[in-house]
Amino acid sequence: MRHRLLCERYLRMQTMKPRVALTVGDPAGIGPEIVAKAAVDPRVLEVCEPIIYMPPGTQSFQPGVLSGAAGLASYEVLLRAVADAQAGTVDAIATAPVNKEAFKLAGLPWAGHTDLLAHLTGAPEVAMMFHSDELRVVLATIHIPLSEVPRAITKDLMVRTIRLVHRELPRFGLAHPRIGVAGLNPHAGEHGLFGREEMEQMVPAVDACRAEGIAVEGPFPGDTIFVRATRGDFDVVIATYHDQGLIPVKLLAFGHSVNVTIGLPIIRTSVDHGTAFDIAGKGIADHGSMVAAILLAARLARTRRASTG
């Protein structure tokens, strides 16, 4: 009898739609609009139960106006969603964009969602990945000045990033991911002629990970590795800095690529764009990326549910 009840419970859980928290991000941006549109989109309702997380009705914000109050409100909304995800009340979180300047005005020490989520969940290693059918890119560094990137690209950082990607990509249906590493300098340094970061930091990291059985190659020149990935040579590319990775993703898949924080104990996806204060409140924001983020969150939640039984 007990075995039958357990089987029935398992089957019921498998057929239930995952509950996905939708956070509106900065309430003065386009987040509330795209979340409201996405929450009633038939594509979303077919695969999950969306639950909107927004500031209390007693708070109001002028569209397109930067403020610390809006930054604090977006932070407090995320706190509630993360707490519910950790408690199992929701199965995943899909976030609309926050504004980094508003975070700063609110006195918050985090640059955005990625480092805040790592702090809230206690995750020791996280990375930002942009996922699309055309291209997947993971960023080794994120929101730091370009002048600081060369110092940040160390063997230790690259080893940790490669290991994280190798561990996390099976969640996306890639049991044995083929990882390509983009070089930092022109021509990937040309054997030290245009920079030594590749020779001194990146090659040793790749060699160390290959010795562990990870399918990783590089570093390869940044002007060709993304083309190779789109042709099927790699399942994912690790980019050394923010724009190196996001320019090709947004060129190929803007509006339907999804920002995923890998390494978290919870599922979190997001849009591939910012708060768009210039069109906030006008009712013209495209909610396509929000839909894509929700669909991927629901897919990852179903995969996790199936793997945990």
DSSP string, 139-196: ESS-SS-GGGHHHH--HHHHHHHHHHHHHHGGGGT-SS--EEEE-SSGGGGTTTTS-S
Asked if 92 and 152 sit in the same domain, the reply is no
- The phi and psi torsions of 283 (rounded to 5 degrees) equal 75, 20
pLDDT of residue 15: 63
Buried b (16+ CB within 10 A) or exposed e, 62-80: eebebbebbbbbbbebbee
pLDDT of residue 99: 96
Identify the CA nearest to 164 among candidates 140, 195, 189. 140
Task: Give, to the nearest 10 degrees, the angle between helix 113-121 and helix 68-87.
Answer: 40
Copy the structure tokens of residue 163. Answer: 């290991």
Range of the domain at 23: 17-123+264-309
Asked if 209 and 102 sit in the same domain, the reply is no
Copy the structure tokens of residue 269. Answer: 């996806």
Tell me whether residue 2 is in a domain: no
Q: Are 248 and 135 in contact (CB under 8 A)?
A: yes
Mean pLDDT, contiguous 10-residue spans, the chain (309 residues): 46 73 98 98 98 93 97 97 98 97 96 94 96 96 95 98 97 94 95 93 98 98 97 98 96 93 97 95 96 97 83
Give the pairing of strands 136-139 and 127-131.
antiparallel
Tell me whether residue 95 is in a domain: yes
Asked if 274 and 301 sit in the same domain, the reply is yes
pTM: 0.90
pLDDT of residue 25: 97
Asked if 245 and 131 sit in the same domain, the reply is yes
Asked if 231 and 179 sit in the same domain, the reply is yes
Tell me whether residue 33 is in a domain: yes
Determine the Cα–Cα distance for residues 133 and 149; give it in Å rounded to an integer: 28
Give the residue carrying structure tokens 């927004």: 54
Adjacent-strand bridge partners of 4: none
- Number of alpha carbons in the 13 Å side-chain half-sphere of residue 267: 28
Tell me whether residue 96 is in a domain: yes
SS3 content of the chain, % helix, strand, coil (to 5): 50, 15, 40
pLDDT of residue 309: 59
**SS3 label, residue 19:** strand
pLDDT of residue 301: 97
Kindly report the CATH number assigned to the domain that includes residue 250: 3.40.718.10
Asked if 198 and 154 sit in the same domain, the reply is yes
**SS3 label, residue 301:** helix
Tell me whether residue 85 is in a domain: yes
Question: Left (φ > 0), alpha (ψ -120 to 50) or beta: where does 13 sit?
Answer: alpha
pLDDT of residue 307: 76
Asked if 52 and 141 sit in the same domain, the reply is no
Tell me whether residue 111 is in a domain: yes
Tell me whether residue 240 is in a domain: yes
Q: How many domains does the chain have?
A: 2
pLDDT of residue 12: 45
**Last residue within a domain, chosen from 256, 272, 299:** 256
